[in-house]
Structure 1
């Protein structure tokens, strides 16, 4: 179907200034024109009047665990049957799309959930964003995240694990190079893999044509991963200025997920284990201040919600409060994420030739990201899922 979308304000996320009173022409799943109001030539098009709204690209969440729930014990959640985890994941997927997030890179889910939910979305069985799935994350035996991932020890076992994940449909690889707050007894600074394991994982992923993300709060494991060419560091609560400089040097993307920690520290949800609060309380505020330094660098930053399904706007708002311009924060949630997924040529901005992932909100996100809390209009790949 063809559409002409009447925009009140167009915020295309290219970095250009917002434009008033333009039309977006959509043919099938592709943007074929962006023209002044009423000057298009697309035939047999349905008019969509968003003239009272700000129109922008669908958002891109680069760190999600579809079947985990914020505030619940991840160890207990991970012990749930995969079938139950898959049902929760499908519900999360619909909530995420409803929030205007049209693309998600998952960071590890239980069993075959990632590929099953991805297929269900593609076949229209459930509503949800397009998925770039990591399937199961790869952890050392007993390491952080093992309960929703798979365990592998030694360089060749890790290579074999990556080969199997790719065989079973993984779009991206996830490894755990430091401990994590959600695992009892884990040290968020200490390496969770040996240098040899990290080097083997990154080499194998890239050899198989897959990008690789590394859970890492800080410490020597992160530095090894960056120097070995890892594509992104996830979280980075304990990154130093030297770490960030190194990431700039090697072209590593930082995926910011600070809202999870802020919520745990400032207003702990009922049932969250005390050890998680204790792990985060001394690191979150420091991480936010480190963001101020990151904002001064030519560092590529994307954003993720972790288990806060659909609340990507909060992460963008945090960036804007700690040194990033509103446009930089918006690009972190759109084109930077799309490029990290390897899809920047099709997603992340509103330009002719790109896929028609289009959302609209009442108000100006660059003045107040909270307007993204309610997204009345969501189009993914030329299909309208929600409309005012």
Structure 2
């Protein structure tokens, strides 16, 4: 179609799609920018100000009077309020009620007769005609403007944390079998429900559809009790990888069977009938015909299942535990945040570290995603 002849509705659709893409991309872009910012700037300003000079109000304490030196008949205490940080002082004060009462370079008269001067580079001097007394240094309030600063320190802090490598391996050990096992089981079940007539097939399909709406949290504790009971009977330890593999398999099977069954039911019947005429068994048809043709549906489910299991924390804690040897990557990163979870720089960097592997899986299989999601919407001829 000639662009000049496109209807206004077509342009509206395209603009709406672009708007939706921008809205979905913006949080991710903000998280990426935040993960690369200096942690001090990240704590006081949003990611959208990353390229602008940021201003912060802070307080520093001068050295105690014990550090004063005599110079030209005056007693002087000196230092720098920025303490090695980048920035430029625009205002300062010595009272919390007036933290910006003086401009950089001006001199303030303190209550004890001392004079305080703070320069734009953060250096300061407290000068007194007599020896200063006391055990604590003077508090100096200041307003500092800092240029934008980007760093990889946030990523270094996360990647260098103790146990990260082992937790990464634990997450792979959980996610890969928890993706492969339900696919194998669901593929056999989906073929039977799609192409093998037997009594009660419709009831089984209805049960599978009903299980799609069962919340994970509601079935987690009963499933754990059942697993512990069976494990105790056979002498199997409670916290093992087998337990979490079975749990993720159980939670993922309804969607897998539903998705694959719809796709397989839409495959051309003539192919199966021709194979049966040639003497092929159901197993031969399944392995040599159904599985190759169903790869889009298998790949689309693999993407979802891998994302769920890789990012899972609840099921991993319940079935695998929180020991240092069993802790998955998500659990390890939660521990790095501390009890209050206020370390933003760790949180943003951790988010991108955890999505590296899922992104690789997604982009490797994404061309099959739409075909798999549309499974069964159009019947074969």
Scaled by the length of structure 1, the TM-score of the pair is 0.21
Scaled by the length of structure 2, the TM-score of the pair is 0.21
More strand by share: 1
Q: Which has the larger radius of gyration?
A: 2
More helix by share: 2
